[in-house]
Amino acid sequence: MLLKKSELIGNQTIEISGSKSISNRLLILHQLFNNIEIKNLSNSQDTQLLEKALNSNSEIIDIHHAGTAMRFLASYFSIQEGKTVVLTGSERMKQRPIKFLVDALRELGAEISYLEKEGFPPLKITGKKIEKNTVTISANISSQFISSLMLIGAKLENGLEIILEGKVTSKPYLEMTLKILRTVGIANHWDGNTIKIEPIESDNHAEKHLQNIPFIVESDWSSASYFYSLAAISRETINLKSFKPYSLQGDSALREIYWDFFGVNTISEGAEAKISLLPEHYFNFPEKIVLNMNDCPDIAQTLCVTATALKIPFEITGLETLKVKETDRLLALKNELFKIGCISEITDDSIVSVKFFEPNENISIATYNDHRMAMSFAPYCLVKEINIENEDVVEKSYPDFWTDLKKIIETKA
């Protein structure tokens, strides 16, 4: 996707599809309890793959690159009594560790075996009735492992008590899962290092108290990050729908981050479920951005590109989970930031800018089969012409991204 040097058309409105994170959690709960009517479901490839897997009768379930689907389905299929499946994915998926989740499920009594490399997909899962109700899992790994357990907790005969060990990573995602459970009528509480999910018995009478109401999925804050970047670089207003003033999503931290460091104010219009991104024109940019993004690592790439476009030094920590995403995002980010004029250094959990310089022409960004690499670098077209390789990777989370982007930019003469 070649993006000519462009300008932003101010005050345009974009409507983003439902949150992938919320949609995926609701699909699992709908399949378990059949009590939720989901509206504004995400149109992302990840969500479509999960929905297809949940409705499949095949013994082999291939979720391609969908990491969330792999993790959520591992727990889901573990409690499907009498059903045996092979859960597999792409070659990259087979390199993404799942041992901590499998160990936790086995501790509960699940029957899971590795078909290739120990600790990695593909998995053979034979569903069975799980009677144990206490499990211990490391908290400083992917929050999706823990959410995966939480989503099946109410379906277990005795509920589920999850004991977390170590520092919690991406805490807002765990809080999101708990809030969604409560919204659909499943009692839970988080006290110290223990999360408790109360049981819902499987007979119809016991499930009647679960709310049978429509759940309208709010739009995706991770996807909104690219428009915050465009607003910050261009200093023009962008309007986004459908967003709620009080969000379940951890990536709604965007509002504070982009105000604190880039002077982009977020104005909510609750009646229209719309937010307006209003850049402050006389904002004094910071000498350096120092930020721990442990709670919202998925927007780190966008922030680094924004900072590079505006030549604001940055030191971002709390990014240990980025090394086991679709690619090693820290290494990929370091490589591609260099192409747009930023020398950076990385550790296992951080990235720091060292020096900015004037980049060469003919910039071509490798995407590493990672949707966020493609979309986070796209706003740089407001600075220079840029080519985004393998642009179709955006289908994983935001299939309409290029169409929506072209609605609000125009080529600079």
Q: 3-class secondary structure for the chain?
A: CEECCEEECCCEEEECCECHHHHHHHHHHHHHHCCCEEECCCCCHHHHHHHHHHCCCCCEEECCCCHHHHHHHHHHHHCCCCCEEEEECCCCHHHCCCHHHHHHHHHHCCEEEECCCCCCCCEEEECCCCCCCEEEEECCCCHHHHHHHHHHHCCCCCCEEEEEECCCCCHHHHHHHHHHHHHCCCCEEEECCEEEECCCCCCCCHHHHCCCCEEECCECHHHHHHHHHHHHHHCCCEEEECCCCCCCCHHHHHHHHHHHHHCEEEEEEHHHCEEEEEECCCCCCCCCEEEECCCCHHHHHHHHHHHHHCCCCEEEECCHHHHHCCCCHHHHHHHHHHHCCEEEEECCCCEEEEEECCCCCCEEECCCCCHHHHHHHHHHHHCCCEEECCHHHHHHCCCCHHHHHHHHEEECC
What is the reported pLDDT for 114? 97
Check whether residue 189 and residue 306 sit in a common domain.
Answer: no
Q: Are residues 227 and 348 in the same domain?
A: yes
CATH code of the domain in which 359 resides: 3.65.10.10
Answer yes or no: do 48 and 175 share one domain: yes
pLDDT at 328 (0 to 100): 84
- Residues of the chain predicted below pLDDT 50: 203-206
- Of 205, 230, 261, which marks where a domain is finished? 205
Q: Is the pTM of this model over 0.75?
A: yes
| Residue 353 lies inside a defined structural domain of this protein | yes
Q: Which of 298, 349, 370, 404 is catalytic?
A: 298
Indicate whether 108 belongs to any domain.
Answer: yes
Asked if 11 and 103 sit in the same domain, the reply is no
392 catalytic? Reply is: no
205, 228, 262 - which closes a domain: 205
For residue 129, tell me if it sits in a domain: yes
Domain end point (choices 143, 175, 205)? 205
> pLDDT tens-digit profile of 15-66?
998 998 999 999 999 999 887 888 889 998 889 999 999 999 999 999 998 8
Domain with 198, as residue range(s), is 20-205
pLDDT digit string, tens, across residues 291-335:
999 888 889 999 999 999 999 999 999 998 776 665 688 999 999
pLDDT in tens, 69-86: 999 999 999 999 999 999
